[in-house]
Structure 1
């Protein structure tokens, strides 16, 4: 399993831009700083003094690391060891910070993966749609969750009082964790989402995106497949049974890795449509 997460998937492979990974630090805080020096969050841009044009906002739709790195290189051809000024960073969101760090970690030989779910530290009383990174710490023998988006500015604005390089339990819920809590009645699904989008259907989408991410397909937050619902769609009992099974797999620990992979490969509705291109 660890070897699987050491290897790039289609989204995290830097392709011809691997040269940009030269001379980078190998520690987690250092790699987070590299990520923060290359990506500008679309919703935080004004906080860094950048007014984004509509054209630049489209960069948030770049799916693959190779494309992200191509955009960065087009603005500044130097390696990622050189932090860019905010206006020279690629425009992205939490998913992009996460796959960026995953890509850097895999290049350094760390087992790493992106997780999709909900963060509790952006809006009090809300579970906000979010992505983070997990990496395997050999010394501690556990997966450690990292929020690569939280730089010094965001830590101050959000009044974060915990280490973003080792998220305390409960600060971030994976899609599967949120789904199970909502299904049991322990969490109100209406508190889960972003902007004016919320509810169990939204949790359902993040559950499936997290499942795909564990299979190394880290889709965009708005990419959907046939098992993801909408706000007005009814969910059949068969679909609930499948979603509950997925939630059990994604929250069941490393012993569920084999079944997670086999279910993903055997059920077409859990993957992206055949005509979808990353």
Structure 2
């Protein structure tokens, strides 16, 4: 198993000038997830902590790079990262930020890790919600393990979690390629894969593209749009997404094919993407 591509921080996962903040952290996936839970708060779950976000805090959810995220954390509170911040003092993000920060921390400790885009089945029965988790290489067990670093004790209770978020079962978090294939085989309803008012084939297909990009070191915001992403079921190139789904489902089977899948201009992240929440084009290189 060649885990080297997911060992070195690159692009958006790199802490850059803030790398020193990741030194001397508690070791291992579980301890690092706990640190992150004391640093970040989910934009849409904040009210359940009794936190009302202002406009500047909502804007933090659009930060793409880990370096910029750590800038925000350290600028607001200069204490070491293991010092848990009060919920109202935490950096605002979404599932992708929890996952990518976890990835950055794990890589800093020499543990191969990658952010995965897909769908969680453990939030509401019968629904698969748009979600990101961490996948890290457990050398002792010789397997990739899924971790939901967002699930602190409060959220475990909030969502009545019946799974171990430090070892999420593969049928409870479906990487985007597995979700697509399951629906193509008629084993799941594509409309069950959703978030807010977005659902169905086009939504799953877009996440397949996001997952392929993430596997190639380009972990974009969940609402960034580019390339072959189309909000229209009739315009999906289903044969093309079938091929990408195979790569998403089995990223270690053929590393060269995984790289080639990303090199397609319909998948590769361009210098400018469309932020679908803010309704505007944004340069990816602008890390904040």
- The bucket for the TM-score relative to the shorter chain is over 0.9
Task: Specify the alignment match of 1:142 in structure 2.
Answer: 143
Task: Specify the alignment match of 1:250 in structure 2.
Answer: 248
1:22/1:79 contact within 8 Å kept: no
Q: Give the Cα separation in 2 of the matches to 1:225 and 1:256.
A: 25
Asked if 1:269 corresponds to 2:252, the answer is no
Task: Specify the alignment match of 2:215 in structure 1.
Answer: 214
1:17/1:69 contact within 8 Å kept: yes
**Pairwise CA distance, 1:232:** 6.0
Structure 1 residues 208, 151: CA separation in 2 closer, same or farther (over 3 Å shift)? Answer: same
Aligned length: 274
Q: Give the Cα separation in 1 of the matches to 2:271 and 2:28.
A: 39
1:199/1:231 contact within 8 Å kept: no
Q: Give the Cα separation in 1 of the matches to 2:158 and 2:214.
A: 29
Larger deviation, residues 19-28 vs 143-152? 19-28
2:28/2:106 contact within 8 Å kept: no
Q: Give the Cα separation in 2 of the matches to 1:25 and 1:86.
A: 21
Task: Specify the alignment match of 1:10 in structure 2.
Answer: 11
Structure 1: any 5+ residue segments left out of the alignment?
none
**Pairwise CA distance, 1:6:** 0.4
Q: Give the Cα separation in 1 of the matches to 2:121 and 2:233.
A: 26
Q: Give the Cα separation in 2 of the matches to 1:249 and 1:269.
A: 15
In the superposition, the TM-score normalised over structure 2's length comes to 0.92
Q: Give the Cα separation in 2 of the matches to 1:2 and 1:30.
A: 22
Larger deviation, residues 249-258 vs 137-146? 249-258
**Richer in helix (by share):** 1
Deviations 1:142-198 (A, max 9, x none): 000000000000111111122110012301001100011111211110111101111
Alignment of 1:193-212 (within 5 A): 193-212=194-213
Task: Specify the alignment match of 1:162 in structure 2.
Answer: 163
Structure 2: any 5+ residue segments left out of the alignment?
273-282
**Pairwise CA distance, 1:81:** 2.0
**Pairwise CA distance, 1:263:** 2.5
Structure 1 residue runs of 4 or more that deviate by more than 2 Å after TM superposition: 273-276
Q: Give the Cα separation in 2 of the matches to 1:209 and 1:232.
A: 17
Task: Specify the alignment match of 1:69 in structure 2.
Answer: 70
1:19/1:79 contact within 8 Å kept: no
In the superposition, the TM-score normalised over structure 1's length comes to 0.95
Larger deviation, residues 31-40 vs 244-253? 244-253
**Pairwise CA distance, 1:240:** 1.9
Larger deviation, residues 163-172 vs 21-30? 21-30
Q: Give the Cα separation in 1 of the matches to 2:154 and 2:232.
A: 35
Alignment of 1:165-244 (within 5 A): 165-231=166-232, 234-235=235-236, 239-244=237-242
Task: Specify the alignment match of 2:20 in structure 1.
Answer: 19
Q: Give the Cα separation in 2 of the matches to 1:50 and 1:69.
A: 21
